[in-house]
Structure 1
């Protein structure tokens, strides 16, 4: 199926509208709202959100092929602005969204569920799980609901983290932070799973980039190598690493 940008941004707007409403009313999400929140898929590939939308005539600065998305982008930004705690909060929300267009690509649930089923079929005992780049939690969902199982999920995008908390906050330790800030002593996970970012972006983690270990120095030069190596450091002996 072709990537439907309009459908994608409409679903994102509805999810953002829903999570702001839930938080404003100080309640938990209804079943219908949970379904809406799960439709959120980030802004990977939606480069048009980098364009200005503050004024109606800003559309003249858009490429002709992007102009059909101008009204939806205006709606998105307007809704975030109306629900932001301050101007600084609004700018931070938008900065995070715009900064995610190169790597915020979410894995379809059909794939995450198949991976989870394959892991379960191995019979490996899993009592602790780490998701270092959680999105809205598609990879951790199949593992929730089991008493005594510890799940830790990292997500650094502010809006995505709001949605993630409303979906799985009662089942997992949701941390609004980046994987590189994970404490060194937080290790020993049975399973580390997720859809990690790929690219040549270097990572600011002094324990890797300025340490004596040459493999770590090399890994810090690209985000995917860093995630792979740091994840292996966080696994217990005999633990399972499953990155998509």
Structure 2
């Protein structure tokens, strides 16, 4: 004889249906869903579940490790998609834990990443060569500031990228357009550390684009546009300064020629780029004088701020830029490939 459903059974079933519908709506609301691959703290994970935390009111992203040997099951708390994307990556970072890399001529494995604070991070690699029958293995802890630096430190054997031909690189550069400066972060409002990091990241991006490791797109141009030169950053060239300044010196010596390094060192008292407010004022004066289009020469262009701030009504003008500093000039070429 069939059992008669009680009110309790009905309410329980209704609650389960509502819960399932709520979970389905959560999956539709966010940029990830169950089963997706994401990257968190340089580790690959699968999304196991997205749920609402009834205590905190936030959302919880439950992750399952993809790498054998990783036994962590992180729960990422977040408010919305923007908050979530600040904590996870949807695309694979260039380097993750478990990658086989070439470091100083040795085959190694990345075993961990650590954030030391003050923008300083470290990556630990294990030498794959075993000594005394595997009883001894070597490890190295390498400091870095920006993710882009890792490509200069390691060759990734696990996630190797196919080399692009010279023709492919040139085609990509030809597809790029002049960068438009829509807003400006005044260098004087940035701390020396922030200006230093912006410069180092721009130089790293410059080398990657020129070598074909990175496509020239708007994201790359945004990094390049943050280069502010070495005015007011004499500390980086002071051999007695330690910490981030010492690390930056080592980076510059590895990524600049001797001549470029000397030019940068000598420019600490003279390398100051024209701010947007001054440039806008000059263009306003030219407009008031009736100038609409023509040939414009910038005899000391830096990275090309005058080109990047060119008003729309003068966009048909032909721009010519001259810059003696190699690094600034090369950055300017990538920011404004449609100018001469």
Q: TM-score, normalised by structure 1?
A: 0.55
Cα 1:167/1:144, change in 2 over 3 Å? farther
Partner of 2:247: 75
Partner of 2:218: 31
Distance in 1, matches of 2:280 and 2:225, equals: 14
Match of 2:289 among 122, 128, 134: 122
Cα 1:20/1:9, change in 2 over 3 Å? same
2:200 pairs with 1:13: yes
Q: Which moved more, 1:118-127 or 1:138-147?
A: 138-147
Distance in 2, matches of 1:149 and 1:26, equals: 33
Distance in 1, matches of 2:243 and 2:259, equals: 22
Compute the displacement of 1:15 (Å): 0.7
Distance in 2, matches of 1:163 and 1:71, equals: 27
Distance in 1, matches of 2:237 and 2:287, equals: 41
Partner of 1:135: 302
Structure ranking higher on relative contact order (CA contacts 8 Å, 6+ apart): 1
Give the 3-state SS of the residue equivalent to 2:309 in structure 1: helix
Aligned residues: 152
Where do 5+ consecutive residues of structure 2 fail to align? 1-187
Compute the displacement of 1:6 (Å): 1.0
| Cα pair 1:128 1:150 within 8 Å, conserved | yes
Q: Which has the higher strand share?
A: 2
Partner of 2:46: none
The equivalences for 1:46-85 within 5 A come to: 46-52=233-239, 62=240, 67=241, 70-84=242-256
Partner of 2:267: 100
Distance in 2, matches of 1:147 and 1:27, equals: 28
Compute the displacement of 1:29 (Å): 1.8
CA-based RMSD: 2.5
Match of 1:155 among 320, 323, 332: 323
Q: Which has the higher helix share?
A: 1
Distance in 2, matches of 1:45 and 1:109, equals: 19
| Residues 76-115 of structure 1 deviation map (CA, whole Å, 9 limit, x = unaligned) | 333334345xxxxx21111010111111011222432343
Compute the displacement of 1:28 (Å): 4.9
| Residues 104-161 of structure 1 deviation map (CA, whole Å, 9 limit, x = unaligned) | 0112224323432342343224311111111111112233887763322111111111
Q: TM-score, normalised by structure 2?
A: 0.40
